[in-house]
């Protein structure tokens, strides 16, 4: 089955199957994690809380020859630029990598994580996050609950997702992505009054997330190892 067919099939399967597939992504932490940030903190008025995450399932393409792989990279970013050189290094160590398929998976994981965090969906988060990262999410959700606060959020969409940096560090490929998304999000106190965000207007969120994959592993999945807001 070609990569395009795989992506199409992936989007058509039932939500429970998607969730089951994402569970298989979980792996080890690398020790390179940055301080966690709230995925909603990039929008005006959003309250910060503890967050980090690492999960992304990406379609695995058939291996192509070296020339084909380089052509794909050159089509994504200009030849001779630092990013082009960095991505060429990625495909040297991981022949399955293509920017398009990577970004498709990153978009999907981003939406699921942000939505689950806003909803306080511990069951979904526990299946998508490492134990350490889940504990951070759980603590932030618990703090909201103790204050009697409720977050109502609608994920509008992702306007832009672009690779900004890449490197191979000790056989681990790391790719940083800038994501520009739109949310309608508001936090309500125990009396039902809006205390943060905006219940009607769309807010812009700018995030920078870094994904990593052990290139020696046969597992094609990447994980999110760091997040930060792009103010």
- Residue 43 reports pLDDT greater than 90: no
CATH assignment of the domain containing 153: 3.10.450.240
- Residue 23 reports pLDDT greater than 70: no
Q: How many domains does the chain have?
A: 1
pLDDT at 48: 37
pLDDT at 25: 34
Q: Is residue 22 part of a domain?
A: no
Provide the domain limits for residue 138: 33-229
DSSP-assigned beta bridge partners for residue 223: 212
Q: Is residue 21 part of a domain?
A: no
Q: Is residue 204 part of a domain?
A: yes
Question: CA gyration radius for the chain?
Answer: 18
- Residue 58 reports pLDDT greater than 70: no
Residue 175 banded pLDDT, cuts 50, 70, 90: very high
Q: Is residue 154 part of a domain?
A: yes
Q: Is residue 169 part of a domain?
A: yes
Lowest mean pLDDT, pick from 57-61, 183-187, 223-227: 57-61
Over residues 32-42, mean pLDDT: 48
Q: Is residue 8 part of a domain?
A: no
Provide CB contacts within 8 A for 164, sequence distance 6+: 83, 176, 177, 178, 208
Q: Is residue 101 part of a domain?
A: yes
pLDDT at 70: 87
- Residue 52 reports pLDDT greater than 50: no
């Amino acid at each position: 089955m070609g990569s395009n067919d795989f992506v199409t099939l992936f989007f058509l399967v039932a939500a429970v199957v998607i969730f089951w597939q994402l569970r298989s992504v979980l792996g080890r932490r690398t020790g390179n994690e940055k301080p966690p940030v709230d995925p909603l903190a990039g929008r005006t008025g959003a309250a910060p809380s503890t967050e980090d995450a690492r999960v992304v399932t990406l379609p695995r393409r058939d291996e192509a020859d070296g020339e084909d792989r380089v052509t794909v990279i050159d089509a994504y970013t200009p030849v001779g630029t630092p990013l082009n050189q960095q991505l060429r290094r990625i495909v040297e160590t991981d022949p399955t990598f293509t920017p398009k398929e990577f970004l498709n998976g990153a978009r999907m994981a981003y939406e699921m994580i942000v939505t689950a965090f806003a909803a306080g969906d511990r069951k979904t988060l526990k299946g998508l996050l490492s134990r350490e990262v889940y504990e951070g999410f759980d603590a932030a959700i618990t703090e909201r609950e103790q204050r009697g606060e409720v977050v109502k959020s609608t994920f509008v969409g992702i306007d832009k997702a672009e690779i900004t940096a890449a490197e191979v560090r000790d056989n681990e490929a790391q790719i940083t992505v800038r994501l520009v998304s739109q949310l309608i999000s508001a936090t309500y106190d125990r009396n039902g009054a809006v205390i943060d965000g905006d219940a009607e207007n769309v807010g812009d969120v700018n995030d920078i997330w870094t994904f990593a994959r052990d290139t020696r592993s046969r597992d094609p999945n990447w994980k999110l190892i760091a997040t930060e807001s792009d103010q």
